[in-house]
C-alpha cells in the first residue's frame, strides 16, 4: 500500500511484519521488543533478521521502501534496536 503521495505506507509494513511473524508462530508479545531493547548501538540486517524471524534480504527491501526504520552510516545500512522495538509496539 502507498500513502497519498505514492510512498510506501510504513504502518502497513509494520502490520505486515507482525502478521508475517504471527504466521511463523512468533508473537510480538513483548519478548521481541525486550530483546531489542537490550541491544546497544546500530545493528545490521544480519543481526536483526534472526530476532524478527525474517531474512536479511527482506529487511534490506523493507528499508529500501521505507517500510522499517533504518539509517545509513556511510555505505552501511543499520537499524536502531530501540526504534524497531517502539515501531513494533505502536
Q: Could you list the mean pLDDT of each consecutive 10-residue stretch along the chain, which spans 90 residues?
A: 45 68 65 87 93 88 87 95 88
Query: In the chain, what are the domains?
Result: 29-89 (1.10.10)
- pLDDT score, position 52: 86
pTM assigned to the model: 0.70
The answer to whether the CB of 51 falls within 8 A of the CB of 35 is yes
> Which cell numbers hold the place of 80?
536502531
Residues forming beta bridges with residue 76, ordered by sequence position: 73
- pLDDT score, position 29: 62
Contacts of 70 (CB under 8 A, 6+ apart): 59, 63, 77, 78, 79
The answer to whether the CB of 37 falls within 8 A of the CB of 21 is no
Report the alpha-carbon distance of residue 20 to residue 86 in Å, rounded.
18
Amino acid at each position: 500500500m502507498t500513502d497519498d503521495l505514492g510512498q510506501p505506507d510504513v504502518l502497513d509494513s509494520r502490520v505486515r511484519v507482525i502478521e508475517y511473524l504471527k504466521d511463523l508462530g512468533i508473537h510480538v508479545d513483548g519478548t521481541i521488543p525486550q530483546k531489542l531493547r537490550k541491544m546497544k548501538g546500530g545493528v545490521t540486517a544480519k543481526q536483526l533478521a534472526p530476532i524478527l524471524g525474517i531474512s536479511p534480504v527482506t529487511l534490506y527491501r523493507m528499508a529500501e521502501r521505507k517500510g522499517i526504520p533504518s539509517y545509513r552510516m556511510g555505505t552501511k545500512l543499520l537499524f536502531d534496536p530501540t526504534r524497531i522495538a517502539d515501531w513494533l509496539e505502536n
